Homo-oligomer: A and B are copies of this chain.
Amino acid sequence: MKEKLTVIKVGGKIVEEDASLNQLLNDFASIEGNKVLVHGGGRSATRIASLLGIESRMVNGRRITDAETLKVVTMVYGGLVNKNIVAGLQARGVNALGLAGADMDVIRSAKRPVEDVDYGFVGDVKKVNAALLADLITKRIVPVMAPLTHDGEGNMLNTNADTIAGETAKALSVYFDVTLVYCFEKKGVLKDENDDDSVIPHITRAEFEQYVAAGIIRGGMIPKLENSFEAINAGVSEVVITLASAIHTADGTRIKK
């Protein structure tokens, strides 16, 4: 019988404003048992890049990462955002350890090949060092993972935080009974996008396909749910899509096999 583990992904908006960050840290600290936090930081990266005179270019919601932008995301995600979260968790009695992919070779990636779009220094995950993470977690250390990987040849690479969370959850499902929580700006997947209370509480693959066919689920929610089903198929016990303020209540939309 595997121990339970919760992997929580929070986006940039939550961790970049003091009030929402404090609330998140309180909520995350209150979660019992084994846990991992994966964070974004895109808004800060865009803001600091702009102050440094570096234009942020996004394609399909992903950041084009040239050499100067890579420096910005390395310092903002790996330094500013990550260390403030870690310090905040330490103050709440959580023995957090900030990790970028290069640290102990925790996430190795390959630079994305140029096809229609040259995303630049963006890494597609090749391997998550799950044995190492599992060893830390069983010692009550809480990994706080920045959306950065490395290629094993000396280069940091920019990797989407949803992907880091999904790949980490899948890799850790060998060792733990994993719940993956994607924090979202809505209470969950909505039946009616104009009604914040129309949360679909459970969703199966077949139901998902029906909702998509009916036009009820669309846009950015489709890849999020595709990733969720992929995680479930790869061994993750449950995926929850919910508000950041609900991570300790486990409300939201639940996806199971």
Which residues of A pack against B, CB within 8 Å?
A: 48, 51-53, 71, 74-80, 82-84, 86-88, 90-91, 95-98, 100, 102-105, 141, 148, 150, 152-156
In the complex, which residues of chain B have a beta carbon less than 8 angstroms from the beta carbon of A84? 74, 156
Verify A78–B83 contact, CB threshold 8 A: yes
Using known A-B contacts A96-B103, A102-B98, A103-B96, determine if residue A79 contacts B87 with beta carbons closer than 8 Å. Answer: no
A80 to B83, CA, bound (A): 12
Verify A152–B90 contact, CB threshold 8 A: yes
Chain B: CB-nearest residue to A71: B80
A87 to B71, CA, bound (A): 13
- What are 6 residue pairs bridging A and B, where the CB atoms are less than 8 Å apart in the complex? A52-B52, A78-B80, A78-B98, A87-B156, A90-B105, A95-B105
In the complex, which residues of chain B have a beta carbon less than 8 angstroms from the beta carbon of A77? 79
Of the candidates B78, B87, B98, B153, the one whose C-beta lies within 8 Å of that of A154 is B87
- Residue with the highest number of chain B CB atoms closer than 10 Å, among A52, A88, A98, A103: A103
In the complex, which residues of chain B have a beta carbon less than 8 angstroms from the beta carbon of A91? 152-154
- Min CB distance A130 to B, Å, is 16
- Min CB distance A57 to B, Å, is 20
In the complex, which residues of chain B have a beta carbon less than 8 angstroms from the beta carbon of A98? 78, 100, 102-103
- Min CB distance A125 to B, Å, is 15
